[in-house]
């Protein structure tokens, strides 16, 4: 969790510096696309702050009213981040279209440099945050990485639109503003995409089949386990909670079957670090099991 917190702060710092650079140069250099990309980066500062708060709240331990912990705060953060991205995209696109009506200035050539710097910095940030987000299973960090990935695409679009205006101002006089509109549209699309995954997790969508198969394999590797009838899993934050229906020898005593269930629970948690806990329901196997 400490690593996730540091990554969120890193994202805020990088996005804040890039936002200040692009907004300032875009305003002075009369480039709507650069300015729009700067406002998109400014939104990143806010969303990264949300990620940081969400991760801190999600790390709180379980209590009497929250026996499964507070992990879903992190999922809610990812959902909120998606909505903010969508609304920010709407505002950026609207600003780009409205500004195109009365534009009289040709953008300055130096306005391209903030975009080039931003594309390089965001590429590095996406690689770092995405890798660590996958390692710890953080929905909000992955959403933040996707958001930074949008910056690469939006920066490239803005750079292309600005280049068209600089190459042929007479023919592509408003291309820079249309580039700002394109940046906003990209941000809107990414916002909708970011919303999807947290929404599915809030609906208790099962993990992929490979993960479920892995849970079954680990459970079946424990002595005196005959089979796994049912296996369900739902994400409650950074990790999954698993419901397992375990088949054991019908002649086994309650005490021994309870010990088997405990070993299965402990073994799954040891072998699969992305599993927070396992609720095991013991059922009689259709066929007797040879005890080890």
Please choose, from the candidates 71, 93, 281, 278, the residue with its C-alpha nearest in 3D space to the C-alpha of residue 182.
93
Q: Is 91 exposed, middle or buried (0-12, 13-18, 19+ CB in 10 A)?
A: middle
Q: Which residue has the higher pLDDT, 149 or 104?
A: 149
263 CB-side CA count, 13 A: 14
Segment 68-72 mean pLDDT: 75
* CA–CA dist 214, 222 (Å, integer): 13
Q: How confident is the model at residue 282 (pLDDT cuts 50, 70, 90)?
A: very high
Which pTM does this prediction carry? 0.64
Cα distance between residue 246 and residue 112, in whole Å: 62
With contact defined as beta carbons under 8 Å apart, do 259 and 214 qualify? no
Contact 79, 199 (CB under 8 A): yes
153 class by beta-carbon count within 10 Å (0-12 exposed, 13-18 middle, 19+ buried): middle
Q: Which of 239, 233, 243 is nearest to 276 (CA)?
A: 239
Question: pLDDT-derived band of residue 60, with 50, 70 and 90 as boundaries?
Answer: confident
Which tens digits make up the pLDDT trace of 207-237? 889 999 999 999 999 998 989 999 999 887 7
- DSSP SS3 for 117: helix
Q: Is the pLDDT of residue 197 over 70?
A: yes
For the stretch 137-190, pLDDT in tens is 666 677 677 777 777 877 888 888 888 888 887 777 778 778 878 878 888 887
Distance CA 125, CA 7 (A): 9
Beginning with the edge strand found earlier in the chain, give each strand of the sheet holding 240-248 in spatial order.
227-235, 240-248, 275-284
Q: What CA–CA distance (Å, rounded) separates 29 from 106?
A: 8
pLDDT tens-digit readout, 227-266:
999 999 988 777 889 999 999 988 889 999 999 999 999 9
Around Cβ 281, how many Cβ atoms within 10 Å? Answer: 11
Residue 31 to residue 26: CA distance in whole angstroms = 5
Burial class of residue 256 (count of CB atoms within 10 Å of its CB; 0-12, 13-18, 19+): middle
Q: Are 166 and 158 in contact (CB under 8 A)?
A: no
- Provide the pLDDT for residue 41: 81
Q: Write down all domains in the chain, each with its CATH number in brackets.
A: 2-202 (1.20.1510.10), 209-284 (3.30.70.1350)
Is a pLDDT exceeding 90 seen at residue 49?
no
Question: So what's the pLDDT on residue 243?
Answer: 94
Cα→Cα distances 238→62, 140, 161, Å: 14, 9, 40
Choose among 203, 269, 262, 202: nearest CA to 242: 269
Beta bridge partners of 283: 247
């Amino acid at each position: 969790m400490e690593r996730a917190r540091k990554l969120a702060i890193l994202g805020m710092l990088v996005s804040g510096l890039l936002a200040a650079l692009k907004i300032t140069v875009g305003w002075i250099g009369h480039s709507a696309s650069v300015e729009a990309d700067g406002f998109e980066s400014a939104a990143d500062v806010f969303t990264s702050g949300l990620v940081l708060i969400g991760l801190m709240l999600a790390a709180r331990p379980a209590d009497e009213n929250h026996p499964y912990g507070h992990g879903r705060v992190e999922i809610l953060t990812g959902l909120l981040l998606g909505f903010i991205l969508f609304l920010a995209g709407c505002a950026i696109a609207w600003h780009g279209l409205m500004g195109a009506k009365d534009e009289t200035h040709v953008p300055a050539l130096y306005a391209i440099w903030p975009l080039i710097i931003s594309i390089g910095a965001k590429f590095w940030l996406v690689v770092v945050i995405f890798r660590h987000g996958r390692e710890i299973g953080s929905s909000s960090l992955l959403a933040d990485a996707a958001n930074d990935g949008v910056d690469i695409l939006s920066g490239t679009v803005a750079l292309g639109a600005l280049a068209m205006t600089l190459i042929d101002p007479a023919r592509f006089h408003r291309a820079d503003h249309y580039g700002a509109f394109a940046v906003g549209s990209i941000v809107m699309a990414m916002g909708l995409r970011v919303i999807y995954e947290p929404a599915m997790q809030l609906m208790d969508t099962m993990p992929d089949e490979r993960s479920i198969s892995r849970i079954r394999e680990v459970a079946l590797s424990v002595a005196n386990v005959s089979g796994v009838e049912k296996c369900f899993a739902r994400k409650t934050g950074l990790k999954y909670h698993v419901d397992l229906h375990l088949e054991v020898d019908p002649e086994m005593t309650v005490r021994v079957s309870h010990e088997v269930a405990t070993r299965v629970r402990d073994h799954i948690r040891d072998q699969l670090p992305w599993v927070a806990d396992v609720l095991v329901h013991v059922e009689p196997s259709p066929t007797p099991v040879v005890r080890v």
